[in-house]
Chain A
């Protein structure tokens, strides 16, 4: 009797494991022909995360559809940001890839290390600042989108309290908070922003806790700079409003989702892929925004937003694209009341890239 039950458990385990592998087996093999240019991607997470990696993978697919048979693409997912990254990048370089995108900040030194050994292979590193003859860098001006959601939030909040879930205190996130707050306080001087640092990009339960805490403290709008759609779900459940992150997340929280700042990498990837195909690739630094189509607002939710606010948001998009509106238009003061950006000028890219201070009015301090 005892032995039978053990055998049963073992058989069941084997069936379950086998079934599990079967479920995952619907992947297609791909063949590569010689004339194609091979383009590889290194991902920090799984492509299905509906956040950062998902959007890079969307970009990859867009590039494939744009450039057709002239290229073929591969990717390696879940590559940790440590010594292993070098091997993964190198593997792509060795296996005949002509262009390699490394899509997370901490691949920076690893990308350069491999690039040194493969001068004929071209590399593109996302969000970094170190370049070489065969290494380009690229990033997006997500803060342009933050200024639009700031405007919407300033108009839409009734409690004048906005909850902001941040990941890590790095310039990109700080920049987003400032851009958001400047726009929100411009249309609503009474607006108060409450910030929680989750110290993670990726922990749905913790992100939900942070959202619920902010809602409990009176926030009626949740803004996030973490990667999963848990905060938006939490907002939906609590009946407050929210914005999506990185991709259009309306399907997960249709009654809370006002819009989202989408990271659209496709046009850039297609452009760079084309440059590889026709041999015109050179090392550049690209920091594209709305104008270049790298930052796109998801469709504004007509069930939530009044028409005039949608119109204003669209007008802001147009002004950002034609250059008449800059999120960091002086005069801007820091929390100590010092003038950091004088009237008549805008923040330069150097200041934006290393921004680690809050602007005047944010009732909080940057964590150290």
Chain B
């Protein structure tokens, strides 16, 4: 193999995994604070379509980015309102958010399918995604605020009795997650494949969810995991192009199976699971209880 080929492969992997990294790093913060948001796919779709429609209407990339992130904030704010204030079941609300997002995104984008736009270079966002991952890593390791978020996810009742505002911290975490999902959507429809097609996220929201687990809730490992997930898919394509045909379905299964294995490995060991998974994940908090 010559170096150009390898550089090219790395380039394709970097381009392809960036939406996974954005969505996963957002969800990581949400889960660290003790909330499980299964609505990633829906928020990504809405982020993608609102970015695309804004770009078509205004021709301005910056507006597209802003509107896309606002849409993510709205979707996740709605989720946060339901699960934090109305104490709705997180699993059900997240799934409803995804179904709602599938519906609303295809309605919004109906007249924009196949509208040509000028795409944006992905490299700026690739760099941003890596920076965000390291910043979040530092946030949890070095800052007081990060420790508080972790404490809220670890034991909301202790955090509450220490005087932290559990609801507020979770609300902000969920909003961050929503904006990151929307950013992933923006990247999909503006940089990665500059177009709008219904359902164009094509399951990447669920892969991002798996990625958080695979990374054992550690920010830097999101990068590692994303590059492994993306790398497997791209290597599969490279092998195909070299004439080596393996059943494609088994490659597509790999991220899911590997994630289950990682879960088994970290969960089997009591100490390890304590160190990584937030104990209060998907458990609602009610300060009146």
Residues of A that sit less than 8 Å from B by CB = 6, 9-10, 12-13, 16-17, 20-21, 23-24, 26, 45-46, 48-50, 54, 78, 163, 194-197, 199-200, 202-210, 212-217, 228-230, 233, 237, 251-252, 363-368
Contacts and interface: CB of A to CB of B under 8 A. Distances in A.
Given A213-B12, A228-B193, A195 B240 contact: yes
B219 interface: no
A217 B238 contact: yes
B16 interface: yes
Contact of A20 (B107, B194, B245, B247): B107
B81 A9 contact: yes
Nearest to B57: A23
A230 B8 CA distance: 18
A48 B5 CA distance: 36
Contacts of B271: none
A233 B195 contact: yes
A357 to B, nearest CB: 14
A21 B104 CA distance: 8
A210 B111 contact: no
Interface stretch (B58-66, B70-78, B139-147): B70-78
A197 B241 CA distance: 9
Interface in B14-32: 15-16, 19
Nearest to A26: B111
A135 to B, nearest CB: 29
Contact of A205 (B113, B114, B202): B202
B132 interface: no
Interface in B46-102: 53, 71, 74, 77-78, 81, 85
Contacts of B106: 46
Contact of B200 (A6, A9, A26, A205): A205
17 contacts: A9-B78, A13-B78, A23-B53, A23-B111, A48-B110, A49-B113, A194-B241, A199-B248, A199-B252, A203-B202, A204-B197, A212-B8, A212-B12, A213-B241, A216-B12, A252-B195, A365-B245
B9 interface: yes
A21 B107 contact: yes
Nearest to B16: A209
A20 B113 contact: no
Contact of B243 (A199, A203, A210, A365): A365
Contacts of A10: 78, 81
A48 B114 contact: yes
Nearest to A229: B195
Contacts of B197: 49, 202, 204, 228
B192 interface: yes
Contacts of B245: 197, 364-367
Given A213-B234, A363-B243, A233 B194 contact: yes
B243 A364 contact: yes
A216 B242 CA distance: 12
B212 to A, nearest CB: 20
B193 A204 contact: yes
Contacts of A368: 247
A199, A204, A217, A230 pick with most chain B CB within 10 angstroms: A204
Nearest to B115: A48
Interface string B214-243: 000000000000000000011001101111
Given A9-B78, A204-B200, A209 B12 contact: yes
Contacts of B193: 204-205, 207-208, 228, 230, 233
Nearest to A216: B8
Nearest to B71: A16
B264 interface: no
A251 B116 contact: yes
A194 B238 CA distance: 10
Interface in B232-289: 233-234, 237-238, 240-243, 245, 247-249, 252
B240 A197 contact: yes
Interface of B: 5, 8-9, 11-12, 15-16, 19, 53, 71, 74, 77-78, 81, 85, 104, 106-108, 110-114, 116, 119, 188, 192-195, 197-200, 202, 204, 233-234, 237-238, 240-243, 245, 247-249, 252
Nearest to A16: B74
A46 B115 CA distance: 13
B123 to A, nearest CB: 12
A185 to B, nearest CB: 16
Given A228-B195, A365-B245, A252 B116 contact: yes
B116 A209 contact: no
Contact of B237 (A17, A210, A364): A210
A204 B198 CA distance: 10
B110 A24 contact: yes
A204 B192 CA distance: 9
Q: Which of A20, A210, A363 has the most CB of B within 10 A?
A: A20
Contacts of B8: 212, 215-216
Contacts of A196: 237, 240-241
A237 B200 contact: no
A213 B222 CA distance: 24
A174 to B, nearest CB: 13
Contact of B5 (A217, A228, A251, A367): A217
A195 B200 contact: no
B53 to A, nearest CB: 8
B198 A24 contact: no
User: Which one of A26, A194, A207 has the greatest number of beta carbons of chain B within 10 Å?
Assistant: A194
Contacts of B243: 194, 363-365
Contacts of A163: 241
Given A217-B5, A251-B116, 18 more contacts: A9-B81, A20-B107, A24-B108, A46-B198, A48-B110, A48-B113, A199-B248, A199-B252, A204-B192, A204-B195, A205-B193, A208-B193, A209-B15, A209-B234, A213-B238, A217-B242, A229-B114, A366-B245
